[in-house]
């Protein structure tokens, strides 16, 4: 019995140094794996951010056409920027016919002579709807080089396609009946606050800048 106990107590113990080295090696290995995992997570996070940025960049290059007002706003800003590619997208065409090409060129030139820094949208809404067609007005200001705001107003006939997206109707697609109804509705629109506010702003600008329109006409001819 005693011998058995002694025999058990006399077993050789492994040097503590070896276990210590193994423990240190194991801890070092775990730290390396942790560092690798952290780097992988950080790399994945950076990649995810880049993907998100790319997606937003691609979206920003497109045309917002979920509502008639949005496509009209995009069209006006594209005209001011002279971006023909976006302008054609707003009209829902890849290649413009002669009438549309003429209108695009004339409108871009009209904005160019103002030399605006940018356009600020004041108001934009639908005057009336008829089926899938929506007649939209937009009032906006061209911010000129001297800091003044030149008031503008435009109207556009839009149409919703089968996918629910809107585009501006080209001059060739607007029928005589559409023109007659639009004219009657516009006469009523002239009694609204947005139109009156535009008139007031335009009159104020004209008084401060006599002869401005004549100068524009000279540049356009």
Domain that holds residue 37: 16-61
Q: What is the pLDDT of residue 55?
A: 33
User: For the chain, what is the largest distance between any 2 Cα atoms, rounded to a whole number of angstroms?
Assistant: 123
> Are residues 158 and 66 in contact, defined by beta-carbon separation less than 8 angstroms?
no
CA–CA distance, 187 with 199 (Å, rounded to integer): 14
Tell me, yes or no, whether 11 lies in a domain. Answer: no
Last residue of a domain, which of 25, 41, 61?
61
Task: Specify whether 51 is located in the same domain as 74.
Answer: no
Task: Specify whether 51 is located in the same domain as 73.
Answer: no
Strands 133-143 and 118-130, bridge-based pairing: antiparallel
30-62 CB burial, b ≥16 within 10 A, e <16 = eeeeeeeeeeeeeeeeeeeeeeeeeeeeeeeee
Half-sphere exposure of 114 (CA within 13 A, CB side): 23
The secondary element (H helix, E strand) that includes residue 193 is helix 193-208
Q: What is the pLDDT of residue 65?
A: 82
Mean pLDDT of 202-212: 96
Task: Specify whether 52 is located in the same domain as 81.
Answer: no
Strand partners, 136: 126, 156
Tell me, yes or no, whether 5 lies in a domain. Answer: no
Task: Specify whether 139 is located in the same domain as 208.
Answer: yes
pTM (2 d.p.) = 0.71
- Residue 152's pLDDT band, with cuts at 50, 70 and 90, is very high
Mean pLDDT of 173-191: 96
What does the pLDDT look like over 30-85, one tens digit per residue?
Answer: 555 555 555 554 444 433 333 333 333 333 345 668 999 999 999 999 999 999 99
CA–CA distance, 126 with 69 (Å, rounded to integer): 7
Tell me, yes or no, whether 214 lies in a domain. Answer: yes
User: Would the pLDDT of 25 be above 60?
Assistant: no
Task: Specify whether 81 is located in the same domain as 132.
Answer: yes
Tell me, yes or no, whether 9 lies in a domain. Answer: no
Q: Running DSSP on this structure, what letter comes out for residue 168?
A: E
Please state the domain count of the chain: 2
């Amino acid at each position: 019995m005693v011998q058995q106990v002694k025999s058990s107590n006399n077993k050789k113990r492994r040097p503590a140094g070896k276990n210590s080295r193994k423990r240190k090696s194991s801890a070092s290995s775990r730290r390396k794996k942790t560092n690798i995992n952290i780097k992988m997570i950080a790399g994945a996070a950076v990649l995810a951010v880049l993907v998100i940025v790319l997606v937003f960049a691609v979206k920003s290059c497109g045309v917002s056409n979920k509502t008639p007002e949005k496509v009209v706003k995009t069209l006006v800003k594209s005209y001011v920027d002279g971006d023909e590619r976006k302008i054609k997208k707003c009209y829902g065409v890849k290649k413009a016919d002669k009438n549309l090409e003429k209108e695009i060129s004339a409108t871009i030139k009209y904005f160019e002579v103002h030399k605006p820094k940018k356009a600020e949208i004041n108001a934009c809404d639908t005057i009336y709807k008829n089926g899938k067609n929506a007649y939209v007005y937009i009032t906006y200001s061209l911010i000129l080089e001297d800091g003044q705001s030149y008031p503008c107003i435009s109207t556009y006939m839009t149409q919703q396609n089968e996918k629910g997206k809107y585009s501006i109707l080209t001059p060739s697609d607007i029928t005589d009946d559409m023109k007659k109804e639009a004219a009657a509705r516009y006469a009523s629109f002239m009694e609204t606050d947005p139109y009156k506010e535009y008139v007031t702003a335009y009159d104020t600008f004209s008084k401060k800048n006599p002869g401005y329109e004549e100068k524009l006409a000279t540049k356009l001819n």
